[in-house]
Amino acid sequence: MFKSLFDQVDSIIARDPAARNRLEVMTCYPGLHAVWIHRASHGLWNLGLKWIARLLSMLARFITGIEIHPGAKIGRRVFLDHGLGIVIGETAEIGNDCTIYQGVTLGGTSLYKGVKRHPTLGQGVVISAGAKVLGGFTVGDGARVGSNAVVLKEIPAGATAVGIPARILHPDLPQASTPDSKAKEYFSAYGVTPNVDDPVSMALKGLIDATLEQEAKIAALEKALAKLSNTPTSDAGEASDTKRDLGALKEWLKE
């Protein structure tokens, strides 16, 4: 039991640079307290003592500001960072080594009892602040959800979801699903993905780059035409026609 306890505490220290030692984490991290109390309420729920389990979960909500239904399943080394305002529904399942930030909702969209209404998170998933993951689908291992995103469909393993409704992006960095596999190197606070940009901004950047390239070519062409128009010629009439044609071409380029 103590090994599992210290394992979870050490995983928080590995992911949060503000955590200085085990004592500080065990006494000052409400996300850790919420998970501890949930372990007890989930055990009572499975024993059929559902009212007591709900009462205990309400107590945890009052103390920590985090609402976890006692029916939810939470894996090992789950870190509820800051935690305030997190809501985790009854049929939600959270895999090992997941990180969930403040204001996140793992909610359901169905009103039918006895069905899978809430999402399932794979291992090493990061759900950023304010994100809403709604529905009984799966978020794949190592996936990341950006801040304030609204996810309404399945996310593949290793992908990133951003926006409202969320769009799926694919990162170009490997995902670390456990703290033992270079988690510090690849862990992404708040789901920010290096070297991956929003597709709309990437398209706009491409248009801007193309416009700048065309402007540079036009400037070079104007410069070449200016030199050509100043070239002396033996035929005065021919030179006059050439200058007139070059002048018209310059006006057309300016338009």
| pLDDT score of 47 | 94
- How do residues 243-252 score in pLDDT, each as one tens digit? 566 566 566 6
| pLDDT score of 103 | 92
At residue 49, does pLDDT exceed 50?
yes
Identify the three-state secondary structure at position 104.
Answer: coil
- How do residues 122-153 score in pLDDT, each as one tens digit? 999 999 999 999 998 999 998 999 888 999 99
The mean pLDDT of 18-34, rounded to a whole number, is 90
More confident: 160 or 236: 160
Q: Which two tokens stand for residue 103?
A: 């204001």
Please, which pLDDT band fits residue 179 given cuts at 50, 70 and 90?
very low
The mean pLDDT of 198-226, rounded to a whole number, is 77
Rounded percentage of the chain residues whose pLDDT exceeds 70: 75
Please, which pLDDT band fits residue 181 given cuts at 50, 70 and 90?
very low
Please, which pLDDT band fits residue 41 given cuts at 50, 70 and 90?
very high
Between CA 91 and CA 69 the distance in angstroms is 8
At residue 177, does pLDDT exceed 50?
no
| pLDDT score of 112 | 78
- The residues, any chain, with a CB within 8 Å of residue 67's CB and separated by 6 or more, are 57, 61, 86, 87, 88
Between CA 73 and CA 120 the distance in angstroms is 9
For the chain, the average pLDDT equals: 80
Q: 3 vs 7, 8, 214, CA distance in Å? A: 6, 9, 64
H runs (alpha helix) in 50-187: 50-64, 183-186
Decide if 250 contacts 222 (C-beta within 8 A). yes
Sketch out the chain's domains with CATH numbers. 2-196 (2.160.10.10), 202-254 (no CATH)
CB atoms within 10 A of CB 247: 12
| pLDDT score of 99 | 92
Between CA 255 and CA 252 the distance in angstroms is 5
Q: What is the pTM of this model?
A: 0.68
Decide if 168 contacts 152 (C-beta within 8 A). no
Please, which pLDDT band fits residue 219 given cuts at 50, 70 and 90?
confident
At residue 71, does pLDDT exceed 90?
yes
| pLDDT score of 44 | 94
